[in-house]
Structure 1
Amino acid sequence: METTYTDNIPPKTSSSTCLVDKTLYSVHAELKQYGLTLTDKMKEGLRSLATAMASMADGTLPPQVHLASLDPGLGKTTMTKHFLQHLLRSPNYQDVSVLVCVSRLGEVEKLYNELDVDPQQVAVLVGKDAVEVASLSDVAPSEARILITTQQMIKHRCRGGRFRDAMAFHYRGQPRQVLIWDEAFLPGEEIAVSHGHLGGLVSAAMSCRCEALAEAIQGLQNSLGDTQSGKLLRVPDMAELGGRQAWSALNLIAKQDSAYSEDVRSVAGAIMSFAGGRVRVRAQGQVKTMLDYRDTIPNDLAPMVVLDASGRCRHTYRLMEKHRGCLVRLKEVCKDYGNLTINLWKRGGGRHSFERDEAKEMVRSVAQAVLGRSEEEWLIIHHKDRSKPTFREELAEFLSEDVMRRVHLIHWGDHHGTNAFAHVSNVILAGTYFLPEATYESRYRMAAGFSEEDRVPLAARRALERGEAADAILQALCRGCVRGVGPDGRCKPCNAYIIASQRSGIPKLLPDLFPGCQLRSWKPLPNKLKGNVKKVIDYLDEVLWRDGDLLEFIPYKQLMQAVGIANRTNFRKTVTYKAEFQEAIAERGLEEAEAVIGGKKHKGLQWIVSAFPPDPDAETAYTPD
């Protein structure tokens, strides 16, 4: 059961009421300058957020994570800026200090420059390598009422300890009362170590002349290979890994400034975390991986307000709310997307779909869409380039230099935060963004606070996958003009193009993700299907739409009965042997397979099991310091 803010609203004081009213007045005035007329729901959502912030300043907000989910363009950043300005000017809060945690260094600089306050009241705390950002302020963090830092600094300085003991974030020797976390929040980080990762650690251990550690890791590597997917694997404790010498070697390897690669450093840190415990094993194709997670956010960081536009769609928040009990929701605000038209091509949009497209049909189709409005600007979000030719170079084969000058390109992984393209009304998601399968399970366990003994049902994991996909799509599309809001409370007119298979679950979630949007079929390639192939694929699409989330295997017998084909030989000749059938199932993320049902072997279709290792350019499952 979801808990809303109205169930936990703290008592108001005259001071907090005055602070809330002043903040809302100036926020409404600025948003009105942008041409935005606030609806009643928008006003309620902003007041809920302002009240939570003021209650933190009063010390009356319950010690939980308070999630504010306002769609992009509805003023959560504007609210933060105005609240901080009024807080510093109020004579009733002269002893109250603030910590703002942002996701990127660029956001530190942006917020610092936008705040209209005495510069001596604002400091920044970033890593030693961020020299330019650190130079924004020469005020000591302990002497500034507002401290802006990165989320990674919180994880780094507080790991394994309490927030109140992290002196770096204190104001004049005391923990700060108001904590604001901008964008996505997770209580920890996933750890995933594959068979290949362990091999890299063996070489590193040998270079440290720690043969006992190398032998122990080789033994763990063999045990991982012998362990069935879904089973638990015991990791040797530190004594079995080689004792003090092994501990010293792992620490040396894991150091951020060590000579080893980031992957090897990460695995060394993961083994120290795993040692003596049990981990869940998962296989993706031929790749076996050990899964775990660790909490990196101290419990006493709460109360805290989290500002995440994707709060209404990410399943991770529901898990934290239900299982950890650490999260409550402020009033959500979702805008009307009646001016958004989404053209959907139901075809696999993952990285490997593009890599297998030797005929470049997908890039050609993207170019075809651009040529339909060649005089206008376009924003295209694509998979990160890993080799030549780049996506830009391939696209340029089909578009003139003049048209390419109006095309903006950013890659997945870099699709958050920037408003540089908020004027662009044509957006293409050239493929969709997926994490390694092992990461989804680890993320589920982490969000729910599950132990390695707790099982994660397939349907539950897929709900989390859909939530992460929804987050990526919402954030990506809202880099364009759809993030804006017109005087009528609707998003600004925008044409979007999305490539996503039925298997991904994305086609189903779009109407709820963008309420009021116009969803259209995008078929850039001619439909070649006819006869029995068309009948089978039409039926298959109905099944996938209705039950695709739960299906693991679809026997050919079921397809034959559905379309009235009794003879297996005829089914093979008129359906499965046809090239257009093989292309159609591949587009839907399916492949031919065999399965035992009721003691008998059946041929049919299953979801494609990737023969590729996890995408190294996807969000990593383990983030080193």
Structure 2
Amino acid sequence: MPHAHAFESTADHTAHVSHPAAELVCSLHSYDRSDTASADLTTSTMNEVVNTLHHYGQDLSHNHHNALQSVIQTMADMAEGSAERRVYVSSLDPGMGKTTSLIVFLRQLMRSHIHQDVAVLVCLSRKAEIERIVEDAGLDEVDFAVLTRDEEVNALSSTPVGEARVLFTTQQMLLSRLRGGRFESCPTFHYQGLPREIRVWDEAMEPGQVVMLSSDDIGGLLGFLRRVSADFADKIDDLMERLRKADIGSLFRFPVLEPEVLQRAVAMLGDDRRTAHVEALAELSDQEVRVASGWGSQRVAVLAKTLLPEDLAPVLVLDASARVRETYKLWNEQRGGLVYLPTATKDYSPLTIHFAKKGAGKSSWEQGGVALAEMVAEMRCRKLEERCLIVHHKADRHLDVPNLVSTALGPDASANTSFLHWGMHRATNEYADVPTVVLAGTFNLPPSHYLGLAHASLGLPMATTIPEDVVKRVELGEHGHAVVQAVGRGATRGCSGGKCLPGDVYIIAAAGSGIEAALRDWFPGATVKRWYPANRPALTGKVAQAAAFIKQRLKDDPVGPILFQDVMDHIGCRDRSNFNRTVRGNELFKLWLSDKGLVEVKLPGIRGKANAFQAELPLFAAAGVEFPPDVQGSKI
């Protein structure tokens, strides 16, 4: 179940980015220190950071220096108890020293005799990042503790959590322990019985939890739930039917669902993938949701909820892609309580981005993976002598992108090629010397998720109608978030004189995604070129006729399904098996469908495992975005 969020808005919150009124100043403890304590801590940390970055070849510009100093100053203010209750966001690009500043600050804080009573909470996205920062910080074991669900990682220190001045944990651990309660009332994260003064959130802080459950998800639970409680299953069956018949965009009230039955169901399922759907039922019990579209007649219930308590602030967020995400901007505009720290955008003029206008979502890969793999292989082989990182969709029983690409590449090229799936594309330096990065498709969330994120960002209930253009802003911003993070894993992560290090990036994304037009904003100064596969033949015969018919139908209704039978009738094909072999099975036709952002879907009441073509990005199609004409291959 996808997650997101943070703080409930209050009447006190404003959209100011400067420090607000004095009554909002947070003072968790009483301090009797000199006025220079914070300045001394900031100066000593900044000096070490500058020397460290210089050692790695980074000469800081004036703006870069100020941006890092603001990160350090914010942590020093927390140490002094003078930081206001705000979410402080640093959006420095990957490789510009945010994490280095945190590591050095921890060392300097431990050395400061004035701050011996000050404690730190560091929340990271992955356990591997905890191991890396613990190693790089070089803290004495007595000074830190680790709290995760992995006992091997926790064993990095034997110091009890409540007695360690620095506590490393995962963001999911924090969310699960707080469970909607107050941070200051959760002793798990306290130091010697009091809340830790310095709170750092590394990587993205989402604006809320987005809970989604489709009518198909509910239907998939019925057989199992009848074994738990026949009466409860009947109730869920009725719920599924009512949701499936609800109008898209309407409000829908979930009934009160017996928690004891749901708890029993979760216990019986264990690690089964359906457990998340049962947990979503519990979240949606007695809630008013917004109904979003799915495939065919499928409907999706969407709810946005707050997760992190307001009293977690002050907290410092280190998110390299914050400058491209709309969630922070909407949060700041509508809810307030968020402060953008000074930043220094990297100059990406040494970077060349090659953009291929192809649908390459997971469904496109499942249906046309061989053709897409050959395209990725062609991209990778442009500079075969160099190392290459390919970012791809996570493998499952239906899809294995690394295997498809490796087969297309052959053993010689595969030996110098690394693979990293979406979800692991953040916060790793393992590929920082790799000059070529290929994004073999982009990380797409369901349209219903972007709707939920928009509600969470604005702090508005589901009953409030949000303009479609705002949801589209959120969607494009989330694409930017994923792309900036993934590109930042390669050599362009490096920085010299304010510029990234030279590199090439290849991106495959659908025309309707808006990604191509946004690349120059996401990577200021970069050269963006359109990329075309070599020697791609045009469609011919019945295949060309089928494509022409589908293209015309898309003009009339960009989001509506196009039945196989309608295509067959148009091209005069009466035999389904012949249509499947000569049209649907044609690799060029599959690539053409991918160009248009189309995938095969199953509509209810019609025979066949798949029986229609439909746009993979319905949110953009519903907004009236017309698919552009072909730029390569078929001249239909």
Q: TM-score with structure 1 length normalisation?
A: 0.81
- Whole-angstrom CA distance in 1 between matches of 2:591 and 2:424: 31
- Whole-angstrom CA distance in 2 between matches of 1:146 and 1:516: 40
Structure 1 residues 251 and 525: alpha-carbon distance in aligned structure 2, compared to 1, 3 A threshold: same
**Aligned-pair CA distance for 1:154:** 0.9
Find the residue that maps to 2:159 and give its secondary structure. Answer: coil
**Aligned-pair CA distance for 1:306:** 0.4
**Aligned-pair CA distance for 1:555:** 5.3
Match of 2:250 among 226, 231, 234: 231
Name 2:533's counterpart in structure 1: 524
Name 2:204's counterpart in structure 1: 184
CA deviations on 1:254-301 (whole Å, 9 max, x unpaired) are 35xx43454433233332332223211111222211111322211110
In the alignment, structure 1 residue 170 sits paired with structure 2 residue 190: yes
In the alignment, structure 1 residue 88 sits paired with structure 2 residue 101: no
In the alignment, structure 1 residue 497 sits paired with structure 2 residue 516: no
Amino acid aligned to 1:168:
T
Is the 8 Å Cα contact of residues 211 and 283 (structure 2) preserved in structure 1? no
- Whole-angstrom CA distance in 2 between matches of 1:200 and 1:301: 38
Which stretch of structure 1 is more off in the superposition, 436-445 or 512-521? Answer: 436-445
- Whole-angstrom CA distance in 2 between matches of 1:583 and 1:262: 35
In the alignment, structure 1 residue 317 sits paired with structure 2 residue 328: yes
Is the 8 Å Cα contact of residues 379 and 428 (structure 1) preserved in structure 2? yes
Q: Which residues in structure 2 correspond to 1:364-403 (within 5 Å)?
A: 364-387=374-397, 390-403=400-413
**Aligned-pair CA distance for 1:388:** 6.6
Q: Which residues in structure 2 correspond to 1:575-590 (within 5 Å)?
A: 587-589=595-597
CA deviations on 1:202-253 (whole Å, 9 max, x unpaired) are 3343222x2332221111111111211111111112xxx4xxxx32111222
Q: Which residues in structure 2 correspond to 1:255-266 (within 5 Å)?
A: 255=267, 258-266=268-276
Is the 8 Å Cα contact of residues 360 and 594 (structure 2) preserved in structure 1? no
Match of 1:345 among 346, 356, 361: 356
**Aligned-pair CA distance for 1:4:** 3.2
- Whole-angstrom CA distance in 2 between matches of 1:356 and 1:193: 25
Q: Which residues in structure 2 correspond to 1:292-311 (within 5 Å)?
A: 292-311=303-322
Is the 8 Å Cα contact of residues 207 and 453 (structure 2) preserved in structure 1? no
Structure 1 residues 32 and 97: alpha-carbon distance in aligned structure 2, compared to 1, 3 A threshold: same
Q: Which residues in structure 2 correspond to 1:38-437 (within 5 Å)?
A: 38-127=60-149, 130-208=150-228, 210-237=229-256, 241=257, 246-255=258-267, 258-286=268-296, 287-357=298-368, 360-387=370-397, 390-437=400-447
Unaligned runs of 5+ in 2: 1-13, 27-33, 540-552, 558-570, 572-585, 600-612, 620-636
Is the 8 Å Cα contact of residues 483 and 491 (structure 1) preserved in structure 2? yes
Which stretch of structure 1 is more off in the superposition, 345-354 or 158-167? Answer: 345-354
Is the 8 Å Cα contact of residues 501 and 587 (structure 1) preserved in structure 2? yes
- Whole-angstrom CA distance in 2 between matches of 1:8 and 1:39: 32
In the alignment, structure 1 residue 439 sits paired with structure 2 residue 461: no
Q: Which residues in structure 2 correspond to 1:528-539 (within 5 Å)?
A: none
Is the 8 Å Cα contact of residues 207 and 327 (structure 2) preserved in structure 1? no
Amino acid aligned to 2:241:
N
Find the residue that maps to 2:263 and give its secondary structure. Answer: helix
- Whole-angstrom CA distance in 2 between matches of 1:510 and 1:8: 38
Find the residue that maps to 1:408 and give its secondary structure. Answer: strand
CA deviations on 1:442-470 (whole Å, 9 max, x unpaired) are 12112221101111222111111111101
Q: TM-score with structure 2 length normalisation?
A: 0.80
Is the 8 Å Cα contact of residues 123 and 140 (structure 1) preserved in structure 2? yes
Is the 8 Å Cα contact of residues 597 and 617 (structure 2) preserved in structure 1? no
Is the 8 Å Cα contact of residues 197 and 263 (structure 1) preserved in structure 2? no
Find the residue that maps to 1:432 and give its secondary structure. Answer: coil
Is the 8 Å Cα contact of residues 389 and 434 (structure 2) preserved in structure 1? yes
Structure 1 residues 236 and 122: alpha-carbon distance in aligned structure 2, compared to 1, 3 A threshold: same
Amino acid aligned to 1:152:
Q
RMSD of aligned C-alpha atoms?
2.9
Name 1:27's counterpart in structure 2: 49
CA deviations on 1:88-144 (whole Å, 9 max, x unpaired) are 2112211111101011111111111222333201111112xx121011111011111
Structure 1 residues 40 and 136: alpha-carbon distance in aligned structure 2, compared to 1, 3 A threshold: same
Find the residue that maps to 1:356 and give its secondary structure. Answer: helix
Find the residue that maps to 1:503 and give its secondary structure. Answer: helix
Name 1:4's counterpart in structure 2: 17
Is the 8 Å Cα contact of residues 15 and 337 (structure 2) preserved in structure 1? no
Unaligned runs of 5+ in 1: 531-551, 557-571, 573-578, 592-604, 612-625
- Whole-angstrom CA distance in 1 between matches of 2:507 and 2:373: 13
Is the 8 Å Cα contact of residues 312 and 332 (structure 1) preserved in structure 2? no
Name 2:576's counterpart in structure 1: none
- Whole-angstrom CA distance in 2 between matches of 1:420 and 1:608: 33
Find the residue that maps to 2:172 and give its secondary structure. Answer: helix
CA deviations on 1:408-444 (whole Å, 9 max, x unpaired) are 1111222112211111101111111101111111121
Amino acid aligned to 1:162:
R
Structure 1 residues 223 and 261: alpha-carbon distance in aligned structure 2, compared to 1, 3 A threshold: farther
Name 1:622's counterpart in structure 2: none
Amino acid aligned to 1:72:
P
Find the residue that maps to 2:390 and give its secondary structure. Answer: strand
Is the 8 Å Cα contact of residues 382 and 410 (structure 1) preserved in structure 2? yes
- Whole-angstrom CA distance in 2 between matches of 1:475 and 1:345: 19
State percent identity of aligned pairs: 34
Structure 1 residues 481 and 259: alpha-carbon distance in aligned structure 2, compared to 1, 3 A threshold: same
